[in-house]
Structure 1
Amino acid sequence: MRRQRLLLSLSMGLLVLLLFLNGASGTILFARAKADPLQRADAIVVLGGEHDGREAYGLSLAEQGYATTVLLSNPYSSKDKVMLKACAPRADIEVICQPPIPSTTRGEALFTRKFADERGWKSVIVVSWRYHLPRARKIFDECFVTPGRSVILRDVPRLYPFSVAQWQYTYLYQYGGWVKAELQGPCS
Structure 2
Amino acid sequence: MLGWPVYVTPQVDQLRHADAVFVLGGSGDAAYTLGLEYALQGYTADVVFSNPNGAEAIWLTDLCSHQRYRFTVSCVEPNPRTTRGEARALERLATAKGWHSVIVLTDAPHITRARYIIQRCFHGDLMMRESETELSPLEWARSFIYQTAGFVRAAVQSGC
Query: TM-score, normalized by length of structure 2?
Result: 0.92
Contact kept in structure 1, 2:22 and 2:103, CA below 8 Å: yes
Question: Does 1:26 find its partner at 2:6?
Answer: no
Residue type matched to 1:151 in 2? L
Counterpart residue number, 2:101: 123
CA distances 1:122-164 after superposition (whole Å, capped 9, x unpaired): 110000001111001111111111xxx21110010x242412x
Residues 99 and 111 of structure 1: is their aligned pair in 2 closer, same or farther, counting only changes over 3 Å?
A: same
The unaligned stretches of length 5 or more in structure 2 are none
Aligned mates of 1:161, 1:179 — CA distance in 2 = 23
Aligned mates of 1:50, 1:41 — CA distance in 2 = 20
Q: How many residues align?
A: 159
Contact kept in structure 1, 2:83 and 2:114, CA below 8 Å: yes
Matches for 1:92-107 after TM superposition, within 5 Å: 92-107=70-85
Residue type matched to 2:71 in 1? I
Contact kept in structure 2, 1:55 and 1:86, CA below 8 Å: no
Aligned mates of 1:121, 1:29 — CA distance in 2 = 28
Residues 51 and 159 of structure 1: is their aligned pair in 2 closer, same or farther, counting only changes over 3 Å?
A: closer
Matches for 1:76-91 after TM superposition, within 5 Å: 76-87=53-64, 88-91=66-69
Higher RCO (Cα < 8 Å, 6 or more apart): 2
3-state SS of paired residue (1:35)? coil
Please state how far the C-alpha of 1:90 moved relative to its aligned partner.
2.3
Residue type matched to 1:119 in 2? K
Q: Which has the larger radius of gyration?
A: 1
Query: TM-score, normalized by length of structure 1?
Result: 0.79
Percent of aligned pairs sharing the same letter? 35
